[in-house]
């Protein structure tokens, strides 16, 4: 049988694109690195897990329900969200994690020759989805670890369709105030779609931080992303959503894949969204963890970026990939930042205090070993 002519069949924009390789399962990693336990500080997951009411739904999920297709458009969850935010249920689209709703928006508005604009140093999926769909991703360097609004505006041309703003930004934790976001939207003046990704919305308590959903009535070109993966601890069930003006969402709905969100994810999210106590407890855990971590990093004389969200970015005097391997051997899993274009930085998820203590102990040993090895080379 003759092999397909891949050189002819595969588009050029796919040929130059490197596949994302996810990390191996925890049990495999523990065998590879010889560690008895593994603290996952790499994916900004919530170590408290889902809210108790969502946990009870997961525990008592009836097996026979697995044979029945879920609501194709997350009907009940959309109505719950609409009631919560005082909007029309048709203004919401629910997807299989944030990655899917990003794809919905790009596919809805971009065609050959179009471009999107975002930051160089943010959640990479905006760039990836655009590039592997054949559209240009224009990346504007961060300014003081934050999105550069004027820089983004200067990159707009007649083929720009969407601008993506991660607020607060992953991985730096910087954020735009409501005044800054309004000013940006005013200058766009409806000419492009502006997506504000608020994956870490529930972690932010700053008074000037915007609730972008409240701005939809004033800016009909605005689309807002939120997720149940972070604060609500449902990352393993993969569920997120977008909300926008009715006209815009009706266009995006045309590219929406129905039945992509499983029934357990829908039911757990429906229950989780009302649990304010869970948000309070998670914020308290993050505050304690950050306070401890900042103090210890100062003692280690390491540069760090401590913004909003449940993570901190740390600059190391060594390769981030080397630090990853050495920390893994001690049961600590962090996120290397070279892929985010921050070489020699790592991003660390905030966990319970005892886990933060274990991280600092492991990091101190890694740094001391590296220092001794460097001295021997001199």
- Rounded to two decimals, the pTM is 0.95
Query: 373 pLDDT exceeds 80?
Result: no
Burial class (CB in 10 A: 0-12, 13-18, 19+), 192: middle
Cα 288 from Cα 293, distance rounded (Å): 9
- What is the Cα–Cα distance from 374 to 322, expressed in whole angstroms? 14
Phi, psi at 86, each rounded to 5°: 70, 40
| pLDDT exceeds 80 at position 375 | no
Residues β-bridged to residue 116: 137, 162
Start-end of CATH 3.40.640.10 domains in the chain = 52-272
pLDDT recorded at residue 2: 80
Could you tell me where in the chain the CATH 3.90.1150.10 domains are found? 6-49+276-377
d(CA 291, CA 355): 14
Alpha-carbon distance 239 to 50, whole Å? Answer: 13
* Alpha-carbon span 337 to 325, nearest angstrom: 14
What is the average pLDDT across 327-340? 95
Buried residues in 39-51 as b, exposed as e (16+ CB within 10 A): bbbbebbbbeebb
Confidence grade of residue 362 (pLDDT, cut at 50, 70, 90): very high
Domain 6-49+276-377 fold:
3.90.1150
Quick check: 240 pLDDT over 70? yes
Confidence of residue 378 (pLDDT cuts 50, 70, 90): low
pLDDT band for position 260 (cuts 50, 70, 90): very high
Q: Which residues contact 206 (CB under 8 A, 6 or more apart)?
A: 175, 308
Residue range 152-156: mean pLDDT, rounded? 98
Span 114-125, pLDDT tens digits = 999 999 999 999
pLDDT over 80 (residue 356): yes
Of the candidates 274, 243, 220, the residue with the CA atom closest to the CA atom of residue 94: 243
* Residues whose CB is less than 8 angstroms from the CB of residue 329 and which lie 6 or more positions away in sequence, other chains included: 33, 34, 35
* Burial status of residue 164 (CB atoms within 10 A of its CB: 0-12, 13-18, 19 or more): buried
Output the pLDDT for position 7.
86
87-103 pLDDT, tens digit per residue, is 999 999 999 998 899 99
Supply the pLDDT for residue 371: 82
3.40.640.10, 3.10.310.30, 2.40.400.10, 3.30.70.260: which CATH number matches 52-272?
Answer: 3.40.640.10
pLDDT band at 20 (very low <50, low <70, confident <90, very high): confident
The per-residue pLDDT for 104 is 97
The predicted pLDDT at position 374 comes to: 73
pLDDT at 376 > cutoff 80: no
* Tens of pLDDT, residues 180-217: 999 999 999 999 999 999 999 999 999 999 999 999 99
What does each C-alpha distance from 107 to 16, 124, 222 come to in angstroms? 20, 17, 16
Q: What integer best gives the mean pLDDT of the chain? A: 95
């Amino acid at each position: 049988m003759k092999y397909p002519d891949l050189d002819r069949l595969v588009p050029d924009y796919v040929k130059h694109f490197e596949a994302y390789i996810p990390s191996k399962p925890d049990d495999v990693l523990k065998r590879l690195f010889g560690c008895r336990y593994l603290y996952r500080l790499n994916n900004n997951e919530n170590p408290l897990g889902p809210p108790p009411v969502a946990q009870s739904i997961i525990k008592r999920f009836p097996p026979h329900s697995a044979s029945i297709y879920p609501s194709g458009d997350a009907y009940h969850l959309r109505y719950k969200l609409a009631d919560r935010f005082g909007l029309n249920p048709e203004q919401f689209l629910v997807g299989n994690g944030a990655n899917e709703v990003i794809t919905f928006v790009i596919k809805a508005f971009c065609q050959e020759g179009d471009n999107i604009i975002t930051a160089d140093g943010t959640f990479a999926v905006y760039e990836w989805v655009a590039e592997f769909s054949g559209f240009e991703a224009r990346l504007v360097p961060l300014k003081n670890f934050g999105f550069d609004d004027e820089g983004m505006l200067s990159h707009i041309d007649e083929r720009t369709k969407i601008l993506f703003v991660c607020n607060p930004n992953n991985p730096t934790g910087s954020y735009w105030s409501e005044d800054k976001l309004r000013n940006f939207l005013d200058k766009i003046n409806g000419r492009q779609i502006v997506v504000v990704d608020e994956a870490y919305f529930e972690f932010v308590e700053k008074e000037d931080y915007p609730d972008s959903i409240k701005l939809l009535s004033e800016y009909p070109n605005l689309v807002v992303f939120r997720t149940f993966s972070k604060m609500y601890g449902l990352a393993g069930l993969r569920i997120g959503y977008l909300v926008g003006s009715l006209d815009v969402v009706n266009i995006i709905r045309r590219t929406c894949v129905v039945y992509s969100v499983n029934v357990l994810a829908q039911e757990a999210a429906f229950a989780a969204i009302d649990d304010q106590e869970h948000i309070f407890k998670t914020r308290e855990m993050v505050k304690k963890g950050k306070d401890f971590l900042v103090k210890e990093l100062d003692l280690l004389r390491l540069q760090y970026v401590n913004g909003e969200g449940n993570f901190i970015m740390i600059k190391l005097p060594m390769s981030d990939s080397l630090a990853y391997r050495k920390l893994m051997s001690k049961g600590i899993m962090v996120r290397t930042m070279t892929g985010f274009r921050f070489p020699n930085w790592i991003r660390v998820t905030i966990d319970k205090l005892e886990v933060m203590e274990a991280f600092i102990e492991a990091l101190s040993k890694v740094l001391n070993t590296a220092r001794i090895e460097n001295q021997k080379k001199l």
